[in-house]
Every structure is written in C-alpha cells, then in structure tokens.
Amino acid sequence: MKKFDINEFQRLSGASSKRLRHDPGQALLEKTPSASLTPEQQTTQFFNDLQGDWFGNKGWNIIAVPSQGSTPISKGDFKLLVAPYAETLSFIDAGAPARNRGGSVDQFVAALKYQQRVFNRDTGEGLHVENGMFMNLSEIVNNNNQNQPLPEYSVARSGTIPHGDSIMLLSKLPLTEAGAPDIPDISTLPPDIGSPAPLGYLDPYLVPNPEINVSNPNANLRRDLELQAGEGFEILQTQTLILDSDNAGAINNIPFIVHHANATRMQAVFWLEKVRNNNTGQEFDQLQYTQIIDLAFHLKFGQDDPTNLITWPHVTINTMVKQ
C-alpha cells in the first residue's frame, strides 16, 4: 500500500497558494488499520491519549505583521516577529455526546474541551489564549440503530481567541503508526510576493538565529527528537492528526482583522507520541505540533488589484509533555 506522504500536505511543502492535487486525509483513511478498531474507536483512542494537562517550553511564534505606517493594500514593508514561548494546554472530557438530530439519521458528537495559554519564554508576557473543543464526528446511526457510512471528515476542532477570530477545522481519521513521526520541512516565507520586488525584501527571514530555524521551524521539532534519541529515548508510536479550515470549515474574523491582516486559512498537524526512556523503562506521552495561519496583507508587487494580496504564513510550533 502506498506510504502516507505528509509532504503532499500543501503547507508543509511550502506551496502556500496552491491547491492540493492529492488529498492526504484520504491517504490517512487508506492507511488506517481497520481490523481492530472502528473509526469512532480510532478517534476515541486519540482523544483518550490527548486528555489531560500538557506543558512545553520549546515553542516558537513566527509572524509577519504590517510595518508601522503601512496600509492594508499598499506595497509596504513588514515586520517579522520571532518569539520563544512556553505553553500550557489542557483537555477535559465535555461529558455525554451531543445528539445532532437529522431525521432519518442522528449523529452523536463526543468532545474534549481545551484551553491553551501561551507566554513569552523570556519575559513572561502573555501572548495567546484560546478555548475550544475537539469533536469526534464518526458516530452516525439511523433510526434502526445501524451505523452509517463514515462522514467525509470525522474530527473537528473549534476555537476562539481574543484577537477576534474563531476557527472551525476538520480532519480525516487520525493515523497511527509505529515509531517516530517523519516531520517534513516547512517554509515560513510567503510563496508569492509578486514582481519586481525590492532587493532583499524577505531578508528578515534569513537572518541566522542560533535557537530557531526561522525559515524552516519544523527543523526544531526534528532536533528535539534527535536530542531525545541521543539520550536514550525511543518513540514507540505516533498518532498523526491533520486539521484544516479548508476541509469544509472556516475562519471568522472581526472587521479590524479582515481589513488590516485577514486570517484566511488555518492548518494544524499534531503528532501524539508514546515515548519510552530506555534508561529507566519509564513511558510518557509527548505532543508535537505545527500550526499555520494564512494572513493576507500588502499588495503583491506589480499588482494593483486590491484583492491580490501577499499571503504571509504565521507559524507556531512546540514540543510538549503530558503532566
């Protein structure tokens, strides 16, 4: 069977503005073993492993914002913000499944509530607060209590943040594989700024930083795993979940955000890992993630159409451990 290639996931290959030719979520469905667990049970297992309190202080936030004095549709400059962060992330069972009544069929949605708090690792300044839910959409039955075909997207994540944004991301089934994840490269640079652009316009992305690969932050996630392996830690199993607002989801923003730096798309990849310390035999859960939000501002160079704006990937990564 064809190996699931996460490099086909458009944002992780750096092709921000292109549509996918191949659907990696469908590849997840094709690779997921079907002999032992039902789709509903596969997602339930992922939720069970996700539930609890997580902490990580290896996070990085990389975001381009309009420079002072620029306007949304100008060919202006930008400021690149790069900040290390620590994070707490808590998942709590939301209780009995919610019943969506559909007449001939009903859907039973089990959910985890989550709360995320992010702080600047150097200053302690609060950077981000988010609340939402992860939802298992797999269980659909008809009036004779017979299971129905799996919905196209079987996992959802909703969330709200005080900047004035709300998200709805959806995913295929989580993929479970033995061993460590194959975390691909990612590009934080905008894929198309138009032409002719000023010489060195994107140079802020290329300034060396000894702590983070600014243009490819996923290299830090791989480095975390390499350092662990060198100290005798082994990844026994990885569950991968890919969520995307383009999977029949959406992002809604307040007018200020829409006008000045519109968030148009969000994608998130979670690698939920079972880790063993081979020196002691102890096992623990580890969570790594990459999240990418498209921000649209500044006209592409050589363009006058006010809708033809540069897409700036806003990227956050972290490696976390369950407490």
The residue with tokens 């995913």 is 171
The residue with tokens 């290896």 is 58
pLDDT at res. 33: 46
Query: What does the H/E/C string look like for 265-319?
Result: EEEEEEEEEEEEECCCCCEEEEEEEEEEEEEEEEECECCCCCCCEEEEEEEEEEE
Count CA within 13 A, CB hemisphere, residue 129.
5
pLDDT at res. 72: 66
Q: Are 141 and 120 in contact (CB under 8 A)?
A: no
The pLDDT tens digits of the residues spanning 2-30 come to: 333 333 333 333 333 333 333 444 444 44
d(CA 154, CA 176): 15
pLDDT at res. 143: 74
Dihedral, 116, 50, 228, 218 alpha carbons, nearest 10: -60
d(CA 48, CA 137): 15
Please tell me the pTM assigned to this model.
0.87
Residue ranges for the chain with pLDDT beneath 50:
1-30, 32-35
Q: Are 215 and 205 in contact (CB under 8 A)?
A: yes
Tell me how many helices (H) and strands (E) the chain has: 4, 13
Q: Taking Cα atoms as reference points, which of 148, 137, 142 lies closest to residue 170?
A: 137
Q: Which residues contact 277 (CB under 8 A, 6 or more apart)?
A: 232, 233, 283, 284
